[in-house]
């Protein structure tokens, strides 16, 4: 059997979803799996049919095996999961939980993470044989700032993995994906930007590239007429990067967004994705990861940057129409939306 084409490095948590309700008053939750880096390979597997795997760590208990079961249902290879002995009540290693409510109208989405001291946050340099991982025909490796933000050691693991991928001529992508909660006691937004710039220098493709502009993570607000110069300027900081990509979103309400994207490469200059005004949103969590999955699929297919950007934009949009972090879209639905399809009933 052929090995994976695409591998991601990141944490996979259980997401507890109160549906239309609030976390603080919920009596029942729907349980999904999710994680910024994992969501990308999950989308690549289920929507785009690519062989994928995730490198992560889980505490070896019933909760960890629930996460594993959900990953298996998503079709992602679990052979690279590192299992850590369960110490009874999670004093030394545990599995991450993420409580997320979707928001509605004027009330934005809310996430409450419970992920300190997780098994994956304790991964260190030398724990994985990256040369062995990348010697099996892998074409693409993806990681990001959420994994790097878990601990000081995960920054080093990401650095080690990305450098190994480059040695094996594997295309590398990185998504800063800034989360203030991960950096609150570790240097804040300035610390996150320092780490992101260190790791993004290994990347061929940078997702969420606007997150690397400004004096600290999340500072920059770039107008449309500034986009080309901003991304071209960022390329000077990241000479290794061949593609800089970003989603573009206006949020008049939690349930209605304007959604688009842009990307830059030396060969094309600025390319813009399809613009989708008035996009109705059921659950926006994971839409950026859906965008990354579609973009990677298009680039792996050699589709050209403009079409790859359209794959990402359409897939990210469809990810927002279903609950949970992960994509439930089919390739046929993505390509129909790219071709200008509508929401008419199909019988």
* pLDDT per residue as tens digits for the range 259-313: 999 999 999 999 999 999 999 999 999 999 999 999 999 999 999 999 999 999 9
Segment 328-343 shows an average pLDDT of 88
Residue 85 has pLDDT above 60, yes or no: yes
Tens of pLDDT, residue by residue over 42-65, are 999 999 999 999 999 999 999 999
Kind of pairing, strands 276-280 and 256-265? antiparallel
Q: How far is CA 214 from the centre of its chain?
A: 21
Between helix 305-319 and helix 331-338 the angle, nearest 10°, is: 120
Better pLDDT: 340 or 206: 206
pLDDT at 257 over 60: yes
Of the candidates 40, 43, 31, 44, the one whose C-alpha atom is nearest the C-alpha of residue 56 is 40
Q: Are 282 and 293 contacting, i.e. CB atoms less than 8 angstroms apart?
A: no
Question: pLDDT confidence of 341, banded at 50, 70, 90?
Answer: low
What pLDDT sits at residue 1? Answer: 53
Listed residue (153, 155, 143) closest to 289, CA to CA: 143
Average pLDDT over residues 130-157: 97
Q: State how far the Cα of 213 lies from the Cα of 193, in Å rounded to an integer.
A: 9
Report the predicted TM-score, pTM, of the whole model to 2 decimal places: 0.95
pLDDT of residue 2: 83
**pLDDT for position 345:** 44
Cβ-Cβ contacts under 8 Å for 62 (sequence gap 6 or more): none
Convert the pLDDT of each residue in 153-202 to its tens digit.
999 999 999 999 999 999 999 999 999 999 998 899 999 999 999 999 99
What is the mean pLDDT of the segment spanning 76-89? 93
pLDDT: which is higher, 248 or 346: 248
pLDDT score recorded for residue 88: 81
Nearest CA-CA partner of 203 in 166, 168, 228: 166
- Give 91's pLDDT tier (boundaries 50, 70, 90): confident
Q: Is the pLDDT of residue 230 over 70?
A: yes
CA distance 257 to 281: 7
Tell the residue number behind the tokens 């989603």, with chain if given. Answer: 247
Percent residues over pLDDT 70 in the chain: 97
Q: How far apart are CA 228 and CA 318, in angstroms?
A: 27
Residue with tokens 């490796």: 141
Write the pLDDT tens digit of every residue in 109-128: 999 999 999 999 999 999 99
Residue 207 has pLDDT above 80, yes or no: yes
């Amino acid at each position: 059997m052929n090995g994976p084409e695409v591998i991601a490095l990141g944490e996979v948590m259980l997401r507890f979803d109160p549906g239309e309700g609030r976390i603080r008053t919920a009596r029942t939750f729907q349980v999904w799996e999710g994680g910024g880096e994992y969501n990308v390979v999950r989308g690549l597997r289920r929507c785009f049919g690519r062989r994928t795997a995730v490198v992560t760590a889980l505490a070896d208990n019933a909760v960890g095996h629930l996460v594993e079961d959900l990953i298996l249902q998503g079709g992602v290879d679990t052979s690279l999961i590192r299992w850590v002995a369960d110490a009874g009540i999670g004093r030394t290693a545990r599995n991450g939980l993420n409580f997320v409510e979707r928001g509605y109208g004027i009330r934005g989405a809310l996430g409450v993470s419970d992920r300190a001291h997780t098994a994956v946050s304790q991964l260190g340099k030398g724990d994985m044989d990256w040369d062995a991982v990348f010697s099996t025909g892998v074409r693409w490796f993806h990681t990001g700032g959420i994994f790097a933000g878990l601990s000081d050691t995960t920054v080093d693991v990401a650095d080690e993995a990305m450098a190994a991928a480059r040695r094996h001529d594997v295309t590398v992508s990185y998504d800063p994906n800034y989360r203030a909660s991960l950096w609150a006691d570790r240097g804040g937004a300035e610390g996150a930007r320092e780490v992101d710039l260190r790791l993004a220098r290994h990347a061929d493709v940078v997702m969420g590239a606007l997150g690397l502009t400004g004096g600290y993570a999340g500072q920059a607000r770039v107008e449309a007429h500034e986009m080309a110069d901003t991304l071209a300027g960022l390329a000077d900081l990241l000479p290794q990067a061949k593609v800089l990509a970003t989603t573009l979103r206006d949020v008049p309400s939690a349930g209605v967004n304007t959604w688009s994207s842009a990307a830059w490469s030396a060969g094309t200059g600025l390319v813009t994705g399809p613009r989708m005004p008035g996009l109705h949103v059921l659950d926006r969590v994971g839409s950026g990861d859906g965008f990354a999955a579609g973009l990677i699929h298009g680039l792996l297919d050699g589709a050209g940057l403009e079409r790859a950007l359209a794959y990402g934009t359409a897939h990210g949009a469809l990810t927002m129409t279903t609950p949970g972090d992960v994509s439930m879209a089919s390739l046929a639905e993505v390509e129909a939306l790219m071709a200008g399809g509508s929401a008419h009933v199909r019988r």
